[in-house]
């Protein structure tokens, strides 16, 4: 099938196309530079055209999500939509059902989403959910930061062994990259404890967060994985945590990037908003965004996503399980937890972010400060750490805040608690994002950060993942406060979403359902080392896991259809 | 126990098979296979081994339908499937119940059929751990995988369950006996506690047995919570347990490094039902202020948890999900099987991998006797007596591979070791076939 999208206003930051009136041509699922006369013409005259969105960090599939759905039927009821001839019924607001997840991303014009936390032991579950999600390709990241084998390799300073282990475990769990969450802290949670800062060792292991992050980052570059180290630093959500954040980023500064990757960074810091708090307690908490943004502005080895608070009732869920218990102590809401043997932990709790609550207003303002203080939009990605700071369906609302300082002023003056003004610099930031910036932080930057060459842009050879929005950038003043609701509305229901050259959304409605693909990284060139490492660790595996190794892996039928990223680590 | 000669007469061994019996989903079984029969099972407990091997006696082998005299007679597959599809396609309020002993792959087809006809789909949780799920929805759910207990726990409590009889390898494989990373001496490094009115086989081997009186569970948990919160106990004996014993036990629970509470239907189905679970969960949450505690319900069937997980990720609700309005509704007491049957709402009942005939209350079964019942199963059972159409499935984990979720939600791919009987069909195939045939009937009627 061939298409030609005619006369759209195209934003493609990767190729420095910023608002040019252009045609976009599609053939066989790819962007091409010419099509035959049979091509179907889609008249998108003067409408906003971008590559489909790419989400660098969200929680959409797997055991945590499922636990959330199981124990929050009130949330499932909050998002009921009846089935249609094309779509299945949808449930859920902060934790949508699998099909709802796919439809909703697709309606926003997104085509690729990273599932940010996969415990390898339960990776089959994550992949089962991905099979149930339509219309978006999913890049799952496996959790390594509290894995006992990792802790052992780090302790023994055996980077070769660690690299082989990571290569083997990505194959077993069929994941795309590595994720580290509260390194050593989630292991400490096995005893109901936590670690504080990056130099506090996990009890019994004598290994610190700094050592784990450094070792895994080195291994990531040794192997040349498409994505970088993806880290959720220690001390999430604690007032006074920003030095830990800068310390974590700085800990890997000297590590050289692998020459074969397309990304610029060696470390991606996720939901940075939660890691930029000053003060010493919630009484005197204030923003720590400025020093962190300053660090990022000076250091190209770092990228981040924000984890913007959206003022919703949502569900927090993270492998940072001790933090979830802290939240439980504060709110007393129903707390769930799920510790995974030898690998990680997870916690969940519902949360209500209120604009009137001082702490929530502060968090909201810090997120926006990061967007506005980090100069290079290629270093910052729009996320809500969905559903932690808010559900992903709020991305269009965040766009409206970024595009209008008048709207932000309106909110600071009338809607949010004064901590947002008094304890942050948000009120003094009048920078606004233009459509090019929006395209950067929602597609081009995340695709590059993830190392996805064929996504996030509209160059020839790219996947034909395209979004068209029903707005005329040239006849629309996005800076006007009263236009914020228009942005939110329009960006929430794409005029077209095209996935691999097929129209899946038209006029904000799902018109076609296609299976999502499971993206995974196959490291080659390390086979001998992997074999040896597996032999070495097998006695420990057999003794301390409760499942047989043969039954541990994700079999191929759980990742159908898949996209395999073959990496030659021998290079 | 009499000594049994080891089995030597077999052709080959299939290793690392998963037991399709209890929620322990032991995945370390070796099947000894001879001529397409499992003649021996290594590592399994007697429950598991007997289910896997002594399978032949009451096996349903051919499709059957009732004749005019009410006798089940063999029919061919097409006849049985068409008749079943006809019943479902013409039903106003079909109810599809069971699923806990089949694979996720089969459930997928089942949900597709359910959504298509607007039926109610439900599983055994509705009569077993349903109150647990309700409690979880009230107060939360601090869980772990079983390996956490094996590697860390120095205190293990069982209440309202007797794993020595119902989950025989639970203590040996996961919780009490095995050597763990931080518990290298296994059993000697752990305190085993049973709270149970009965001196069960599990209580007999425990270090501490707390025989609270029947229906005393709520009061007993409440008293521990009170002590934890520094409250004075006003009575000398609570739920049949002397005050000092409660204080001592509380102190012991506070002072372990890692405690795990396992609870069974004895807790969910005594007087206070889900309130018992509420308070047990809250007790564990409170204990986390002092040290590490986790809990887990002892799920019965090998995939009862799998159904709840599957339905939650597909449709946001764990069981008792009604699609009659085109979107899922879940309301305990409204959309749950026994309540629907008591209200005589369903007009066709499909039962798969479950035995309501043996487990449902009389009123519910009375209604089942009055409406058409379609059974998909591998064994004859009381439900077969109620069934009008019988469709013989295959044995997941022995004859057909499939996915299940262990009681702690660890997903397991269960392999197969032998071929199914030629006259039987895989559950997944049968349910899909029903979907296709129902769809044909409905589309032709349009
Ligand atoms: S404990 Fe349960 S799963 Fe394990 S062998 Fe026995 S019956 Fe099977
Ligand atoms: Zn996250």
Long-range contacts of A475-481 (CB under 8 A, 24+ apart): A475/A46, A478/A400, A478/A403, A478/A404, A478/A432, A478/A434, A478/A435, A479/A403, A479/A404, A479/A405, A479/A406, A479/A432, A480/A404, A480/A406, A481/A404, A481/A406, A481/A407, A481/A409, A481/A410
Residue A525 lies in a domain: no
- The confidence score (pLDDT) of residue B55 equals 63
CA distance A20 to A8: 8
pLDDT in tens, A168-216: 999 999 999 999 999 999 999 999 999 999 999 999 999 999 999 999 9
- The confidence score (pLDDT) of residue B2 equals 62
Q: Which residues surround ligand 2, an ion (CB under 5 A)?
A: A 116, 385
Residue A447 lies in a domain: yes
A59 CA to centre of ligand 2 in angstroms: 6
CA-based end-to-end distance of chain B:
64
Closest alpha carbon within chain B to A148: B181
Residue A191 lies in a domain: yes
Residue A524 lies in a domain: no
Residue A329: which CATH number?
3.20.20.140
- The confidence score (pLDDT) of residue B58 equals 87
Assess B326–A contact: CB distance below 8 Å, yes or no: yes
B48 CA to centre of ligand 1 in angstroms: 5
Measured between beta carbons, which residues in chain A are less than 8 angstroms from residue B133? 70
pLDDT beneath 70, residues of chain B: 1-2, 55
Q: Which residue has the tokens 């967007």?
A: A371
Please give the average per-residue pLDDT across A258-267, as a whole number. 97
Residue A283 lies in a domain: yes
On the 0-12 / 13-18 / 19+ scale of CB atoms within 10 A, B9 is: exposed
pLDDT in tens, A5-52: 999 999 999 999 999 999 999 999 999 999 999 999 999 999 999 999
Residue A335 lies in a domain: yes
Where exactly are the structural domains of chain B?
A: 12-56, 64-127+302-445, 130-297
ipTM of the complex: 0.97
Residue B93 and residue B323 in contact, taking contact as beta carbons nearer than 8 Å: no
The number of the ligand 1 atom at minimal distance from the alpha carbon of B167 is 1
Q: Which residue has the tokens 């959206």?
A: A310
Interfacial B residues in 239-278 facing A (CB < 8 Å):
257-258
- The confidence score (pLDDT) of residue B171 equals 98
Q: Which residue has the tokens 């019924």?
A: A89
Residue A340 lies in a domain: yes
Measured between beta carbons, which residues in chain A are less than 8 angstroms from residue B312? 66, 69-70
- 3.40.228.10, 1.10.3720.10, 3.50.50.60, 3.30.830.10: CATH of B130-297: 3.40.228.10
The number of the ligand 1 atom at minimal distance from the alpha carbon of B168 is 1
Residue B283 and residue B221 in contact, taking contact as beta carbons nearer than 8 Å: yes
A392 CA to centre of ligand 2 in angstroms: 12
Closest alpha carbon within chain A to B180: A544
- Integer-rounded Cα radius of gyration of chain A: 22
- The confidence score (pLDDT) of residue B357 equals 84
Evaluate if pTM is beyond 0.95: yes
The CATH code for residues B64-127+302-445 is 3.40.50.740
Counting ligands in written order, the one closest to the CA of A180 is: 2
Q: Do the chains contact at A91 and B147, CB–CB below 8 Å? A: no
Hey, which of B25, B46, B168 would you mutate to test ligand 1's pocket, going by the most ligand atoms within 8 Å of its Cβ?
B168
Please give the average per-residue pLDDT across A531-555, as a whole number. 98
Measured between beta carbons, which residues in chain A are less than 8 angstroms from residue B139? 334
- Integer-rounded Cα radius of gyration of chain B: 23
Supply B324's token pair. Answer: 């009659």
Interfacial A residues in 512-551 facing B (CB < 8 Å):
543-548, 550-551
- The confidence score (pLDDT) of residue A571 equals 60
CA distance A488 to A271: 22
- The confidence score (pLDDT) of residue B57 equals 74
Closest alpha carbon within chain B to A71: B137
Q: How many domains does chain A have?
A: 1
Q: A484-492 and A395-403 are packed helices; what angle lies between their axes, rounded to 10 degrees?
A: 140
pLDDT in tens, B84-136: 999 999 999 999 999 999 999 999 999 999 999 999 999 999 988 888 999 99
Residues spanned by the domain of A466: 50-401+436-510
- The confidence score (pLDDT) of residue A58 equals 98
Ligand 1 contact, B376 CB (< 6 A): no
Residue A111 lies in a domain: yes
Q: Do the chains contact at A71 and B140, CB–CB below 8 Å? A: yes
CA distance B369 to chain A (A): 33
Question: Which among B175, B258, B312 is the top mutation candidate for probing chain A, defined by the most A β-carbons within 10 Å of its own β-carbon?
Answer: B312
A1 CA to centre of ligand 2 in angstroms: 37
| Cα atoms in the 13 Å half-sphere on the side-chain side of A169 | 29
């Amino acid at each position: 099938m061939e298409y030609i999208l005619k006369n759209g206003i195209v934003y493609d930051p990767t190729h420095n196309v910023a608002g040019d009136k252009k045609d976009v041509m599609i053939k066989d699922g790819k962007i091409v530079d010419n099509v035959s006369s049979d091509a179907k013409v889609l008249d998108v005259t003067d409408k906003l055209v971008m590559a489909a969105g790419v989400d660098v960090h969200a929680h959409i599939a797997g055991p945590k999500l499922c636990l959330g759905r199981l124990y929050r039927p009130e949330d499932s009821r909050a998002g009921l939509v009846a089935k249609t001839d094309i779509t299945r019924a949808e449930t859920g607001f902060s934790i949508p059902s699998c099909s709802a997840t796919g439809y909703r991303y697709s309606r926003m014009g997104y085509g690729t989403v990273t599932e940010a936390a996969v415990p390898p032991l339960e990776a089959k579950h994550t992949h089962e959910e991905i099979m149930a999600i339509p219309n978006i390709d999913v890049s799952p990241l496996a959790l390594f930061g509290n894995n006992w084998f990792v802790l052992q390799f780090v302790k023994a300073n055996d980077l070769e062994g660690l690299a082989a282990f990571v290569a083997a475990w990505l194959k077993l769990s069929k994941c795309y990259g590595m994720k580290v969450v509260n390194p050593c802290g989630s292991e400490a949670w096995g005893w109901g404890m936590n670690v504080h800062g990056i130099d506090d060792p996990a009890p019994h292991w004598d290994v610190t967060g700094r050592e784990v992050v450094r070792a895994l980052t080195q291994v990531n570059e040794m192997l040349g994985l498409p994505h970088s180290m993806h880290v959720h630093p220690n001390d999430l959500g604690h007032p006074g945590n920003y030095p830990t954040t800068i310390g974590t980023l700085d800990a890997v500064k000297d590590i050289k990037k692998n020459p074969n990757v397309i990304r610029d960074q060696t470390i991606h810091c996720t939901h940075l908003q939660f890691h930029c708090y000053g003060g010493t307690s919630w009484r005197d908490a204030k923003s720590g965004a400025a020093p962190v943004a300053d660090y990022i502005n000076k250091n190209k080895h770092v990228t981040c996503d924000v984890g913007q608070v959206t003022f919703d009732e949502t569900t927090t869920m993270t492998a940072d399980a001790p933090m979830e218990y802290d939240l439980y102590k504060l709110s007393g809401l129903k707390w769930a937890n799920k510790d995974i043997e030898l690998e990680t932990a997870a916690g969940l709790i519902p949360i209500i972010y209120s604009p009137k609550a001082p702490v929530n207003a502060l968090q909201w303002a810090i997120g926006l400060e990061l967007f506005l203080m980090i100069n290079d939009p290629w270093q910052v990605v729009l996320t809500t750490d969905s559903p932690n700071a808010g559900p992903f369906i709020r991305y269009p609302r965040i766009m409206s805040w970024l595009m209008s300082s008048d709207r932000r002023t309106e909110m600071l003056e009338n809607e949010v608690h004064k901590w947002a003004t008094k304890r942050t610099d948000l009120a003094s930031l009048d920078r606004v994002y233009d459509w090019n910036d929006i395209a950067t932080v929602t597609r081009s930057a995340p695709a590059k950060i993830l190392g996805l060459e064929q996504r996030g842009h509209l160059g020839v050879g790219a996947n034909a993942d395209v979004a068209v929005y029903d707005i005329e950038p040239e006849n629309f003043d996005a800076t006007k406060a009263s236009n914020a609701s228009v942005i939110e509305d329009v960006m929430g229901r794409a005029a077209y979403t095209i996935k691999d050259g097929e129209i899946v959304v038209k006029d904000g409605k799902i018109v076609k359902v296609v299976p999502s693909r499971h993206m995974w990284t196959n490291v080659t060139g390390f086979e001998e080392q992997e074999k040896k490492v597996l032999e070495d660790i097998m006695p420990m595996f057999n003794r301390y896991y409760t499942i047989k190794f043969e039954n541990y892996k994700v079999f191929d039928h759980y990742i159908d259809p898949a996209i395999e990223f073959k990496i030659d680590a021998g290079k | 126990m009499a000594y049994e000669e080891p089995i030597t007469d077999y052709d080959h061994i299939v290793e690392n098979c998963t037991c399709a019996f209890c929620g322990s989903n032991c995945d370390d079984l070796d099947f000894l296979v001879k001529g397409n029969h499992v003649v021996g099972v290594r590592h399994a407990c007697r429950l598991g081994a007997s289910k896997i091997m002594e399978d032949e006696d009451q096996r349903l082998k051919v499709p059957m339908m009732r004749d005019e005299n009410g006798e089940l007679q063999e029919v061919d597959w097409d006849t049985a499937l068409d008749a079943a599809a006809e019943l479902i396609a013409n039903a106003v309020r079909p109810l599809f119940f069971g699923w806990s002993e089949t694979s996720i792959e089969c459930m997928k087809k089942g949900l597709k059929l359910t959504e298509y006809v607007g039926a109610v789909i439900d599983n055994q949780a509705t009569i077993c751990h349903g109150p647990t799920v309700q409690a979880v929805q009230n107060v939360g759910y601090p869980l772990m995988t079983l390996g956490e207990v094996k590697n860390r726990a120095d205190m293990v409590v069982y209440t309202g369950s007797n794993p020595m009889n119902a989950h025989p390898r639970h203590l040996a494989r996961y919780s009490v006996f095995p050597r763990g990373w931080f518990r290298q001496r296994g059993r000697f490094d752990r305190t085993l506690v049973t709270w149970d009115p009965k001196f069960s086989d599990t209580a007999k081997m425990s270090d501490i047995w707390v025989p609270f009186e029947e229906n005393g569970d709520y009061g007993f948990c409440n008293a521990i919570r009170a002590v934890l919160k520094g409250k004075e106990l006003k009575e000398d004996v609570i739920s049949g347990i002397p005050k000092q014993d409660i204080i001592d036990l509380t102190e012991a629970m506070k002072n372990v490094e890692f405690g795990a509470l396992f609870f069974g239907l004895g807790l969910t189905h005594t007087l206070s039902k889900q309130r018992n679970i509420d308070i047990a969960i809250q007790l564990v949450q409170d204990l986390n202020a002092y040290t590490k505690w986790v809990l887990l319900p002892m799920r019965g069937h090998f995939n009862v948890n799998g159904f709840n997980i599957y339905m939650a990720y597909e449709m946001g609700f764990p069981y008792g999900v009604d699609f009659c309005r085109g979107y899922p509704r879940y309301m305990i007491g409204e959309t749950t099987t026994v309540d629907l049957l008591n209200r005589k709402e369903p007009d066709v009942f499909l039962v798969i991998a479950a035995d309501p005939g043996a487990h449902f209350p009389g009123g519910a079964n009375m209604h089942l006797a009055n409406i058409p019942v379609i059974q998909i199963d591998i064994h004859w059972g009381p439900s077969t007596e109620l069934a009008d159409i019988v469709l013989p499935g295959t044995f997941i984990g022995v004859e057909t591979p499939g996915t299940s979720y262990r009681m702690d939600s660890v997903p397991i791919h269960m392999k197969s070791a032998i071929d199914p009987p030629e006259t039987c069909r895989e559950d997944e195939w049968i349910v899909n076939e029903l979907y296709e045939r129902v769809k044909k009937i409905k589309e032709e009627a349009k």
